[in-house]
Amino acid sequence: MKALLLTNEYPPNIYGGAGVHVQYLARELAKLLAVEVRCFGEQNLPDGNPVVRGFGFDPSLCTGPKALLSVFGALQRGLEANMVNIDADVVHCHTWYAHWGGILAKLNYGIPLVVTVHSLEPLRPWKREQLGGGYDFTCWLERTALEMADAVIAVSEETKRDVQRLFQVPDERLHVIYNGIDLQEYRVVTSQTALQRFGIDPDRPYVLFLGRIARQKGIIHLVNAIKHLDPGFQVVLCAGAPDTPEIAEEMKAAVTMAQRDREGVIWIEEMADILTKIELYSHASVFVCPSIYEPFGIINLEAMACGTPVVASAVGGIKEVVVEGVTGTLVSLEQMTETPFEASDPEQFSRDLATQINALMADPAKRKAFGDAGRRRVEGIFGWDAIAKKTADLYESLIPVKQ
């Protein structure tokens, strides 16, 4: 059996949870079957398993609105990925960027299509800021791919319910397979190279955020909560890759104000590599995930694997990862029942975040208990080897028996 994974992100071009998912899934699947990855970029690893091939895009070919570059780039790459002969038994797509390529592979090569839902376009209306009219197209593309897929994988039970509510996907085609974590890689380390590099005082505790600057990640709510935080600890914001210039400017203004009013607010304006992330998690007293929409939230797994307690918003798949009062604290986010997903009272949400952060920062014994419990939970449920086996078994169920 051979699987073809289609994805936007693949090392070294990783900026979000979906990319992390594909990176580790491909590695673990390759222990069970032949794997080929076709992705966006210049990657070229023709030997070994997985085989990896990247597809580029020349933006000068597009004279339309800048907001449509990523849409047209995805379509062109999906077409080119299909022009290279496909000899796989199943094609597996990750994020809307890859859906066009998956649709073409299913129809033209006659192989089953699997789609993993890392997020859903109807629940991310703020993407219109980034894509303009292209957002309407990505919504259509996602619906088409999910409703014609032979199997749809939701990364949480909450995401499964969203798919059932928003799309016409038969229950027998809908499956839940969680995201995972490399338990040998993500663990507590004692090195302090990253702390020294970014000017983090190792003798003072700190609260950590790590993720993209995006509406979905709710980082502005955390920055606005800083004014309500107790004195005595640092706030480290490892945040880069802004979705739009507008949110980049909003973030800059908010952080500048926070740094003016409080000592020890450190903004790392980049997407950290794995070793840096592990070090930041390991030394953090509390990890904060203030997302307003999160189908799973792999960053919480990473923090828990490094023994760090979590304060997170009670949305989506986060509620299946972080156990209230056991591995961390969940903060209620009063969402509207329909899109857009947002705090009904953003200022109150920021205050509630601050309240829970302050309480946990003031209780070292609870932090230790939560951190230890988080590591145990990750070890028991979220190992990549088990997740890859479930995925491979799903592939097997879709492929006709060869005579």
Rounded to whole angstroms, the Cα distance separating 128 from 131 reads 5
Nearest Cα residue to 246 out of 208, 219, 213: 213
Q: What does R_g of the chain's alpha carbons equal in angstroms?
A: 21
Rounded to whole angstroms, the Cα distance separating 244 from 271 reads 16
Q: Residue written as tokens 């076709």? A: 38
Rounded to whole angstroms, the Cα distance separating 399 from 401 reads 6
Q: 2-180+383-398 and 193-381 share one CATH topology?
A: yes
User: What is residue 124's predicted lDDT score, i.e. its pLDDT?
Assistant: 86
Three-class SS state of 155: coil
* Band (338; pLDDT cuts 50, 70, 90): very low
Whether the bond into 11 is cis, omega within 30 of 0: no
Residue count (the chain): 403
Please determine, for residue 337, whether its predicted confidence score (pLDDT) is greater than 60: no
User: What is residue 343's predicted lDDT score, i.e. its pLDDT?
Assistant: 63
Please determine, for residue 334, whether its predicted confidence score (pLDDT) is greater than 70: no
Rounded to whole angstroms, the Cα distance separating 139 from 123 reads 10
Neighbours of 107 (CB within 10 A): 12
Task: Find the Cα–Cα–Cα–Cα dihedral 96, 100, 106, 112, rounded to 10°.
Answer: -10
**φ, ψ dihedrals at 159, nearest 5°:** -65, -35
The distance in angstroms from the start CA to the end CA of the chain is 14
Nearest Cα residue to 340 out of 128, 117, 96: 128
- The letter for the amino acid at 190 is T
The ranges assigned to domains in the chain are: 2-180+383-398, 193-381
| 375 token code pair | 């590591």
Rounded to whole angstroms, the Cα distance separating 153 from 390 reads 11
Domain 193-381 superfamily per CATH: Glycogen Phosphorylase B; (3.40.50.2000)
As to burial, measured by CB atoms within 10 angstroms (0-12 exposed, 13-18 middle, 19+ buried), residue 228 is: middle
User: What is residue 102's predicted lDDT score, i.e. its pLDDT?
Assistant: 98
Rounded to whole angstroms, the Cα distance separating 9 from 234 reads 32
| 185 token code pair | 């890689």
H-helix or E-strand spanning residue 234 = strand 234-240
Rounded to whole angstroms, the Cα distance separating 211 from 271 reads 7
User: Can you state the angle between helices 134-148 and 99-109, rounded to 10 degrees?
Assistant: 40
Rounded to whole angstroms, the Cα distance separating 194 from 310 reads 21
pLDDT digits (tens, 9 = 90+) for 37-75: 999 999 999 999 999 999 999 999 899 999 999 999 999
**CATH T-level fold of 2-180+383-398:** Rossmann fold (3.40.50)
Rounded to whole angstroms, the Cα distance separating 66 from 79 reads 21
What distances in angstroms separate CA 120 from CA 189, 315, 350, one per listed residue? 35, 14, 25
CA angle 237-240-243, nearest 5°?
125
CA neighbours within 13 Å on the CB side: how many for 398? 29
Please determine, for residue 396, whether its predicted confidence score (pLDDT) is greater than 90: yes
E-strand spans in 112-204?
Answer: 113-117, 151-154, 174-176
User: What is residue 293's predicted lDDT score, i.e. its pLDDT?
Assistant: 86
pLDDT digits (tens, 9 = 90+) for 212-248: 898 889 999 999 999 999 999 999 999 998 888 889 9
Please determine, for residue 403, whether its predicted confidence score (pLDDT) is greater than 60: no
User: What is residue 241's predicted lDDT score, i.e. its pLDDT?
Assistant: 85
* Pair type for strands 151-154 and 286-289: unpaired
When mean pLDDT is compared across 208-212, 298-302, 334-338, the lowest value belongs to 334-338
H-helix or E-strand spanning residue 137 = helix 134-148
Rounded to whole angstroms, the Cα distance separating 99 from 116 reads 10
> How far is C-alpha 157 from the geometric centre of its chain's CA atoms?
16
